[in-house]
Structures are given as structure tokens and as C-alpha cells.
Structure 1
Amino acid sequence: MRVVWNDALVLCKQSEKKPKSAELQKIVITQAKQTEERAWLSEVSAIALQQSVADLETAFKNFFDSCKGKIKGRKVGYPKFKKRTNNQSARLTRGGFSIKGNGVYLAKIGIFKPIWSRKLPSEPSSVTVIKDCANRYFFSFVVEINPDLVDAKSHSIGIDLGIKTFAVMSDGTLAQSPNYKKLDRKIRRLQRKLARQTKDSKRRNKTRNKDCQTA
């Protein structure tokens, strides 16, 4: 969760030596629940709160490993604070969620009826609940599959990328290049409107949501 992540990050910035994950959880979750400002954390699944601190721990590990050259490629930056207007996410492991028929049960929240994009191939080990900048919610599941059951040869296909035709597949299928002119004009119009509106106003937030949905 954004609040727990940010509270833990503040402590890390203020400390000479980064506190361990268990110490951070004790301060920003257990002790924070006893305060008036963070009492509402008791209404949230403990698994989601603990996972937020664990994700911050992973972010720091990746940052330190990148500084030491243990991670190849682009340098991993120092963990940043999460903003309310940015994409939000909460990850739940087993015990914090379950699949019930066509619904998804989230601990301390209830059952949701999502529009499934595909059938899950196996029982998920975790789920990430994502809220984008347009206030839309998505479920992303982690599942395990048996690689021996996947026939790589039957799914192989050659792709030739072009300009006039976006892609030509080896089986003869053509993928035409999309035309973004109309969409680009709409985005430009919304961004001009956004720039004229008062920051943090209801009208500006409404326009920002439309801009996110368009993009």
C-alpha cells in the first residue's frame, strides 16, 4: 500500500543505517495502528501491508545490487515515494485472497466479479490489485505451469516488421499499422484543457482521468 510504503521509506531516509524489514513492519504497521492517524490500517489485510514493506525491501536490494554492479543493464534508481495520482497496487499472497467461482475474494474487503481476459491455467500463488490513473482496477495473477506441456514448436512464428505494413507473419497473416492521428488530436486537446485548470480541483481530476483512459 502507498501509505505504508511511504512511511517506511521516510524511516529509511531518516536512519543512518537502513532498518531491517521486521523493524519497519513493527513501526509502520503494528505501532502505527495504535495511533489516531493510522488507526484505519486495522481495517486493511495485514498481508497486503506486510507485502508493501517486503516490496520496498526488494526495491532497496535491487538498488544496492545495481550500485555494486551485480545487476546488468540500466542502473536501478533509489526507491521513490508513491503519489496518490499515480498507478497504485497492492500484492496479496495465499491467505490474503482466494478464487471463488468466477469471483475473487480479497481479505477484509469481499468478493469482486472481474471480467476475465482468460482462464487461469492453475491455482494462483499471488494476486496484484492494480488501480491505474483513470481509477480502473485490474487483477494480475502469478501462476505456475508445467513447461513440458507447452509445445514451443507449434507456437513458433516468424515476424517481419515494416513501415507501411506493421508486421508480416510467416504464416501470411498481416498486421496493419494503426492510425493514431485522431487519438493524438484528442490527447492534445485534453492536455491543453488540463493545463488551464486549477491544480487538485475536481474538474482537473476529471479531465486527468479522461486523459489516462484515452492514453
Structure 2
Amino acid sequence: MNQTIGVCRYVYNLFLKRNQELYEKEKKFIGGLDFSKWLNNIYTKENDPWIKKVSSKAVKQAIMNGDKAFRNFFEGKAKYPRFKKKRNQDVKAYFPKNNKTDWIVERHRVKIPTLGWIKLKEFGYIPTNAQVRSGTVSQKAGRYYVSVLCEVPPKEKTINNHDGLGIDVGIKNFAVCSNTDVYENINHLPKIRELEKKLKRQQRKLSRKYESKKKGGESCYKNIQKQVKIIQKLHARLTHIRKEYVRDVVTRVAKAKPSFITIEDLNIKGMLKNKHLADCVRKQNFYYFRTYLEQKCKQNGIELRIVSRFYPSSKLCSCCGHKKVCLSLSERFFICDLCGIEIERDFNASLNLKYARNYTIITYR
């Protein structure tokens, strides 16, 4: 697995380097198919023959990923593709299903093409009765993950006759729903704070090793790599805890079976520019919450409504509709100047989102 992932990363970087050289010399771009022919027929005969020791399909997919990255750049959909670093571990090895005996899933193991039978540490996530089309293997923080594409029969669409739901996400509480459900900010829990303190200590330890090496000390490269892996494991653990909490919140919301869900189109990039709130916003995973909510709504047949980011959900009175122009972030209770109602700020925003009239409905293919 290490060898396959390493070759995929090397070939991806080679594709980027080859195109950079061609553009500087001849002002031209070579596509993924042409580069694959050049790699197999010319390059591997003279240099790096070990590329052919791993799965050819995995190498071909790495080339096509680089080709897609360049296409997205030319179309203005993404930035210029960057070289993949071994330390970041953001490379996945692709394995298609070539034979009937490939990608057989059992309770405790899975048969991956070229690699053979691999034991699973966690079981029950991959359905044993589904037909697997392809899969990828990736590595992160010393652990290996397998992700498969399964073909399963579609679920029967359920009819949701319940009332709609408005969800206001924030920093003090992760989500406040119009049905009075409140999901707290998990980053305030003692366990998360303890892990963050431990991460800071380990990062200081790594920084001291680098400083010692710069000054000509005895800091060994292997010790630095061990420390890097410790930090990667802590980052991965925090990420998994936060994403699992987001999935749990979305699952609870979907199980209520509302007829529709309304959320606000947040300007996440703009919020991250605020140096006082950037770290808190990053930890909340608002973008992941929206993408996973879209997926759950599609599965359960729930209508997802998106309200414009300029909609004053916090400044409107949910009782009489009066708009309060001056409302600071420190005011946690909304007091209407017209009708005099006093209501919690985030709950008031969730009610306004629920009864919003101007919205966009997410359509699914």
C-alpha cells in the first residue's frame, strides 16, 4: 500500500512538472492520455522502472486526477494545481473492479485488486450484500482507510407530513432549531480542550527539535518524523470527533422527518477573515454540515431551502416582523422595540429562517 500510494504521488507530481517544462519551452499542454503513453513507452524504459511494479490502474487514475486539476484551472473552477507532499498524505490509490473476484466484502475483510485480502479494523460500514464497483486506499496519520463505491437499490421515498424546520448555526451553540432543539458547541467540552492543550505541547516539542537542528544540534531526522506522526494523530483525532458530531446532529435532524429544512447561506470565507473568530469558525465545520445535510435530505426526500446570506434573520422579530437595525453580537437576547417580546437571539433567528419566503431550493440530480 505504501509503495502504491508513493508511486501515485510521484506520478502526479511528474505530470505537473512535465507540463511546466513544456509550457516554458513550447507554450503547450499535454493531456493525461498523451502523458500516460509517454510515461509507459519512453520514460519508464530509461528512468524509474519501479513505476510498473504497482497497479497500472492506480497510476493511470493518478494521471487523470492531475489532468482534471489542470482542466479545472483552465476553466476557472480552481487554483493552479500544486505538488503533493509526502508529509501531507493527501494521495489516494485507486483500484477498479477488473474481475468478479475483486472487491469481495466480508464481515472482517475485503479483497482489494493487486493487494488481495485485507483485514478490516472496523466492520459493518461496508454492506456485504452490495455490489462494489471500485474503491480507493489512502493513508492518514499512520492508519490506512478504504473507501468503496457501492451499487445499492434506491430507498423508497418517505412522505414527510411534519412541520418545517429552521436551523441557525453559530459559535456559542453549534445549531439551534425552531423546534427548540439546541445542539451545543462540542469544542467547549473538557475532552476537546484537553486534546487541544496536548496538541500545543507536542507542536512546541516539534518546534524545538527543528530549532535545535538549525543550530547544528543532535536532533535526528527519525525523531522529527516520529514527532510529526504524533501531531498528525492528534489532528486526525480532533477532526474525526468534530465530524462525527456534525454527522450525529444531521442524523437527528433528519430522523425528525420535517417537510422542509431552511438554513442560511453563510459567507465562510468572509467569517474566516475575522482574526478574533476565525479559529472558532474553522472548528465548527459549517461547510461539512451543509454538504452532509444536503446528502441526508436527498436520501430522506426532505426539501432543503437556502436563504440568502443578506437575509437579516437575527435582526427581525419572529412575532411582528419588525427589524431592529442596531443589534450587536454581545446581545444574546432579542428585545423587540415594537411589540416588546424578549426571546433568545439564535432561537429567534431559527424561527425567521423557518418562515422565510425568499429562498432557493436545492435540486438533486
Query: When the two structures are superposed, what TM-score results if normalisation uses the length of structure 2?
Result: 0.50
Aligned counterpart, 1:79 = 81
Cα deviation 1:149-174 (Å, max 9, x = unaligned): 34373999765546555445677765
Deviation at 1:92, TM superposition (A): 2.1
Matches within 5 A, 1:35-74: 35=46, 37-66=47-76, 71=77
The 1:149–1:34 alpha-carbon spacing in structure 2 relative to 1, beyond 3 Å, is farther
1:101 aligned onto 2:106: yes
Cα deviation 1:12-53 (Å, max 9, x = unaligned): 111121112222112234434323x52222220110011111
Aligned counterpart, 2:209 = 197
Contact 1:128 1:139 in 2 (8 A): yes
**Which letter does structure 2 place at the counterpart of 1:210?**
I
Contact 1:29 1:41 in 2 (8 A): no
> Quick check: 43-52 or 114-123, which moved more?
114-123
Contact 1:4 1:29 in 2 (8 A): no
The 1:210–1:117 alpha-carbon spacing in structure 2 relative to 1, beyond 3 Å, is farther
Contact 2:135 2:147 in 1 (8 A): yes
The 1:142–1:150 alpha-carbon spacing in structure 2 relative to 1, beyond 3 Å, is farther
Unaligned runs of 5+ in 1: none
Alignment equivalent of 1:177, drawn from 157, 161, 185:
185
The 1:145–1:212 alpha-carbon spacing in structure 2 relative to 1, beyond 3 Å, is same
> Quick check: 92-101 or 55-64, which moved more?
92-101
Rounded to whole Å, the distance in 2 between the matches of 1:127 and 1:113 is: 15
Greater gyration radius: 2
Alignment equivalent of 2:95, drawn from 65, 68, 92:
92
SS at match of 1:4: helix
Contact 2:93 2:138 in 1 (8 A): yes
1:123 aligned onto 2:131: yes
Query: When the two structures are superposed, what TM-score results if normalisation uses the length of structure 1?
Result: 0.80
Percent of aligned pairs with the same amino acid: 28
Rounded to whole Å, the distance in 2 between the matches of 1:45 and 1:191 is: 37
Deviation at 1:206, TM superposition (A): 1.0
- Superposed CA RMSD in Å reads 2.9
Rounded to whole Å, the distance in 2 between the matches of 1:152 and 1:119 is: 28
Cα deviation 1:92-111 (Å, max 9, x = unaligned): 22228512424222333222
Rounded to whole Å, the distance in 2 between the matches of 1:210 and 1:151 is: 46
Unaligned runs of 5+ in 2: 1-7, 214-219, 236-365
Rounded to whole Å, the distance in 1 between the matches of 2:223 and 2:82 is: 28
Aligned counterpart, 2:327 = none
1:143 aligned onto 2:150: yes
Rounded to whole Å, the distance in 1 between the matches of 2:165 and 2:21 is: 53
Rounded to whole Å, the distance in 1 between the matches of 2:159 and 2:228 is: 43
Rounded to whole Å, the distance in 2 between the matches of 1:59 and 1:95 is: 26
Rounded to whole Å, the distance in 1 between the matches of 2:20 and 2:156 is: 47
The 1:19–1:162 alpha-carbon spacing in structure 2 relative to 1, beyond 3 Å, is closer
| Count of residues paired in the alignment | 205
Contact 1:7 1:28 in 2 (8 A): no
Deviation at 1:209, TM superposition (A): 0.9
Contact 2:96 2:113 in 1 (8 A): no
Alignment equivalent of 1:186, drawn from 190, 195, 198:
198
Aligned counterpart, 1:27 = 38
The 1:173–1:118 alpha-carbon spacing in structure 2 relative to 1, beyond 3 Å, is farther
The 1:171–1:152 alpha-carbon spacing in structure 2 relative to 1, beyond 3 Å, is farther
